[in-house]
Structure 1
């Protein structure tokens, strides 16, 4: 069952940027969305519809132009950069299409990397926590493997383990299967959905693939700068 209090709550959020010719580009024109613990939201949209802009807002990398975006009890527009960075590092996990693994570092070292910014037991136990998370995603035998020795699906599993190692409250997946074949992508999404469901984290998947979006429990299309709920048939 979803939590009662939303982790993320957007109300008529807009994002406008100034173009070089001093004209305004209205990317998001009124996005409203509530995301609870344990939720899985799929957002589909074509290139240029504002998916990356929305992801940046959800991940506290940017702020709305107007409207309200609340992260737990925080009004994001009132957060200092320092506090936003602290929340992002502690409570938000990112999974990208390009796995963004550190070259020359083992799977274990890649997953332990976010814990270098932790404190106390989390910092001192970083390798143990990283190994446990890699085992959870089925890579317990590949701890010392370099990224180039792993398949695409295995690299994405490492990226998922890295995103989850700090126990985030929200996981943002940006085209997480875009670099994978259909079968591997479906397997990776099932894994991501399963692990976040077990930990109680909310999962927000942003994709252009309707089949991936349909794996979410709630589905939306980003169009005209707004979110429109999808029916079961994807329309």
Structure 2
């Protein structure tokens, strides 16, 4: 499998107002492969959000090496990193982050307004194809307040995948859903990611969600460790 992301000895620290240095991530080693499903499980405050920002090219390490498709992200300027993120990374959030006043179709089309060439001109067609893929083509004109939580999350998945990203980052994707709906959503997300050979990274505190992944890690106090099984 192709290595999409490679982290070696990655740390992330911030300086507090009293000039104390807070170490959030400590020596992270991680390989993310195209077509794989990786789960990172940890409690609140363990550094999951900070790690997500690094994986999603929203931030750069304080030290260590983070490579995206073989290119060190520290060597990529902020604007170039934003363009790379927009074309290769799809985000799925716990709270859906949908545009409440816009239809499902409008929400899914939104990322395609930043596309170029054929994808831009075919944005409505591509959005409808993705809505059909998540089983919501018939709800294209509905607004989020007319949908269930499971439907809203499927719209969020369609929006994240409409540009065919190489990397899908799912941040607590079932946190706002009941157990049964959450399992259905995760199965859908995993299925679509596998079909498109995208890497899926799920960041969660839910051990049942983590158990669906093929590669599993635990993040505790900024330290990442591979585990064969995620303990309950």
Same fold (TM over 0.5): yes
Deviation at 1:230, TM superposition (A): 1.7
Name the structure 2 match of 1:230. Answer: 227
Cα deviation digits, residues 156-186 of structure 1 (max 9, x gap):
0000000000000000000000000000001
Name the structure 2 match of 1:19. Answer: 16
Deviation at 1:78, TM superposition (A): 1.1
Alignment of 1:156-171 (within 5 A): 156-171=153-168
Name the structure 2 match of 1:206. Answer: 203
Find out whether 1:139 has 2:118 as its counterpart. Answer: no
Deviation at 1:232, TM superposition (A): 2.6
8 A Cα contact 1:214 1:234, kept in partner: no
* Equivalent-residue separation in structure 1 for 2:158 and 2:230 (angstroms): 32
* Equivalent-residue separation in structure 1 for 2:156 and 2:149 (angstroms): 11
Name the structure 2 match of 1:55. Answer: 52
Query: SS at the partner of 2:31?
Result: strand
Alignment of 1:1-235 (within 5 A): 3=1, 5-232=2-229, 234=231
Cα deviation digits, residues 74-130 of structure 1 (max 9, x gap):
101111011100110000000000000001110000000000011111001000000
* Equivalent-residue separation in structure 1 for 2:47 and 2:210 (angstroms): 16
* Equivalent-residue separation in structure 2 for 1:127 and 1:103 (angstroms): 19
8 A Cα contact 1:174 1:205, kept in partner: yes
* Equivalent-residue separation in structure 1 for 2:16 and 2:197 (angstroms): 40
Task: For structure 1, list consecutive stretches of 5 or more residues without a partner in the other structure.
Answer: none
8 A Cα contact 1:49 1:222, kept in partner: yes
Deviation at 1:151, TM superposition (A): 0.4
CA 1:159 to 1:233, structure 2 compared with 1: closer, same or farther past 3 Å? closer
* Equivalent-residue separation in structure 1 for 2:102 and 2:69 (angstroms): 35
Query: SS at the partner of 1:90?
Result: helix
8 A Cα contact 1:95 1:174, kept in partner: yes
Cα deviation digits, residues 191-222 of structure 1 (max 9, x gap):
00000000000000000011111110011100
Runs in 1 of length 4+ with deviation above 6 angstroms? none
Task: For structure 2, list consecutive stretches of 5 or more residues without a partner in the other structure.
Answer: none
* Equivalent-residue separation in structure 2 for 1:147 and 1:233 (angstroms): 34
TM-score, length-normalised on structure 2? 0.98
* Equivalent-residue separation in structure 1 for 2:44 and 2:71 (angstroms): 30
What is the RMSD of the two structures over their aligned residues, measured on CA atoms? 0.9
Query: SS at the partner of 1:148?
Result: helix
